[in-house]
Amino acid sequence: MRRNRGCNAADHLIARRGFLAGSMGATLALPNLVQAAGSPDVAGGHKRILQIYLQGGVSQFESWDPKPGTLHGGPFRAIETSVPGIHISELLPHTAKQMHHLSLVRSINLKTNDHGVGRKLMERGRRQEGYPYIGSVAAKYLGPKQNPLPGYIHISTRGLTDVTDAFLGPKYAQLKLEGVKPPSNIAKPEEMTEKDYARRDLFRVTVNNRFARRGQRSLVDVYNGAFDQAQQLMARRSLFETEAAAQDLQRYGDHFFARNCIFARSLLEHGATCVKITHHGYDTHAENFNFHLEQLGEFDRPFATLLTDLHDRGLLESTLVMVMSEFGRTPKVNRMYGRDHWGASLSIALGGCGIKPGVVVGKTNDTGTEVADREVDGGHLFHTYFRALGVDTTQTHDVPGSVIPIGDPAAAPIQELLA
């Protein structure tokens, strides 16, 4: 079975947005390079984020918070991990062996069962509209000034092209890639000489400067930035043209998610600040157990291998790793053997930069119907991510004429997780 579909109801439609009124089919579909404002101090060198989004809502019962033998526990066992006392679902045997690099939060209550609201809460740390996503904030405050790649790269096979940059500007928006294939039109036409290419680019700059003098500076910045980032990708086209090594495919697997994980590793090694991989297919309103057997079977080995590689290559200490969803699944199994939307008690996994390994924060009650201890929400998680990365989330974004705190002032970081 291949599950690559979510809810069909009208209220589950995913908002779509093209980059600069287009898609990756042209260089203008790339986010622009507006002038970066001052940013909070970040200790150390280049820090990064690896964000794995299990789209649709992974079941906490079948992943990070199993309840075998209980009313709602389902058929799968809880297995030991590399951290004594921490057990996760038997559907994650490879990840269980890497648990000493990870910690868990089992007490998240988002107070919503809506895909869009849950996703935005987990990404922005706020329920209100108009705030930037994790990757956009990271691109602004963690990315080197001379970043060789766009700061926020999202690898996904479909949809989920949200407005991620908000008031930070298009430079920090997600650059969405459909797997390992290169974006269209990032190679110079074969019939064009280097001299002709340089002349054409000079003409573009001249025309843009003329428009800028007429009061169109913001639009010109968008277009200039789009071309700048397109040229960055053109110079690094080899990232897309290099086939995954046979030994990597043997270790990770050769399906699309495995290949995306190998690609993500390469992007992080070559300078990307936030790489997000979306693994689709967790909206299991029917056949929940069969689909989680398939989906987590596909997720488990590539993720565990990627985590191992980041550690072995010296990147894990500077890379925050998170595995998240927009909500969990209902304790009660419905008449189609599925679990429905459940934002009242979900779990996530975290590891790497700034995170204490082998920690479990919070718990649910014996049957998993509600949070029993240390309730947190997306706001607490947002603070935690960026405090772990060295960003003071009590400071404000540098937006002229506005005072906008980086993190929600009503929330605070989860101190138990911070190294």
pLDDT for res 3: 52
User: Per-residue pLDDT for 73 more than 70?
Assistant: yes
Confidence of residue 14 (pLDDT cuts 50, 70, 90): very low
User: Per-residue pLDDT for 314 more than 90?
Assistant: yes
For residue 373, the surrounding DSSP H or E stretch is strand 371-373
pLDDT for res 275: 97
Confidence of residue 226 (pLDDT cuts 50, 70, 90): low
pLDDT digits (tens, 9 = 90+) for 153-203: 999 987 666 889 999 988 888 988 888 877 776 677 778 888 887 888 888
Task: Residue 22: count other Cβ atoms within 10 Å of its Cβ.
Answer: 13
Closest alpha carbon to 295 in 334, 256, 321: 256
pLDDT digits (tens, 9 = 90+) for 92-147: 999 999 999 999 999 999 999 999 999 999 999 999 999 999 999 999 999 988 78
Q: Measure the CA–CA gap between 255 and 272, rounded to whole angstroms.
A: 23
The arithmetic mean of pLDDT across residues 49-69, rounded, is: 98
pLDDT for res 6: 53
The arithmetic mean of pLDDT across residues 267-291, rounded, is: 96
Q: Pick 141 or 3 by higher pLDDT.
A: 141
Q: Which domains does the chain have, with CATH numbers?
A: 10-417 (3.40.720.10)
pLDDT for res 159: 64
Confidence of residue 7 (pLDDT cuts 50, 70, 90): low
pLDDT for res 243: 80
Stated pTM of the model: 0.85
Burial class (CB in 10 A: 0-12, 13-18, 19+), 416: middle
Q: Pick 175 or 3 by higher pLDDT.
A: 175
User: Per-residue pLDDT for 65 more than 90?
Assistant: yes
pLDDT digits (tens, 9 = 90+) for 347-389: 999 999 999 999 999 999 999 999 999 999 999 999 999 999 9
pLDDT for res 22: 31
Tokens 């595995």 belong to 323
Q: Pick 170 or 252 by higher pLDDT.
A: 252
Average pLDDT of the chain to the nearest whole number: 86
* CB of 175 closer than 8 Å to CB of 153: yes
pLDDT for res 27: 34
For residue 80, the surrounding DSSP H or E stretch is strand 78-80
* CB of 118 closer than 8 Å to CB of 110: yes
pLDDT above 90 coverage of the chain, percent: 66
Closest alpha carbon to 179 in 119, 252, 261, 298: 261
Confidence of residue 212 (pLDDT cuts 50, 70, 90): confident
Lowest-confidence segment of 25-39, 228-242, 256-270, 397-411 by average pLDDT? 25-39
pLDDT for res 38: 34
* CB of 22 closer than 8 Å to CB of 16: no
